[in-house]
């Protein structure tokens, strides 16, 4: 659990690329990026609460 706490405290970025190709022709390309981080009073949420 300590490893998970350390990762969330600093933040983790996950990236990936997905390409759907048929006969050497790229049909669909998707780039994925995700930021996983903890949110607290010192690091507020980017979304405002109503």
Q: Side-chain half-sphere of 35: how many Cα atoms within 13 Å?
A: 8
- Structural domain of residue 14, as residue ranges? 2-36
Q: Is residue 45 part of a domain?
A: no
pLDDT score recorded for residue 40: 67
Angle at 18 between CA 5 and CA 22, to 5 degrees: 165
Residue 25 lies in a domain: yes
Structure tokens at 50: 């109503």
4: number of CA atoms within 13 Å, CB side?
1
Q: How many domains does the chain have?
A: 1
Q: Is residue 47 part of a domain?
A: no
What is the maximum alpha-carbon separation in the chain? 52
Is 21 part of any domain? Answer: yes
Which pTM was predicted? 0.45
Q: Which two tokens stand for residue 37?
A: 């981080």
Q: What tens-digit pLDDT sequence spans the chain (50 residues)?
A: 677 777 777 777 889 999 999 998 889 999 998 888 776 666 666 677 66
Structure tokens at 39: 């949110």
| 18 domain residue, yes or no | yes
């Amino acid at each position: 659990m300590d490893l998970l706490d350390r990762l969330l405290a600093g933040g983790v970025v996950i990236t990936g690329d997905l390409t759907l190709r048929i006969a050497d022709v790229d049909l669909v390309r998707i780039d994925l990026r995700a930021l996983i981080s903890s949110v607290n009073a010192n690091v507020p949420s980017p979304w405002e609460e109503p």
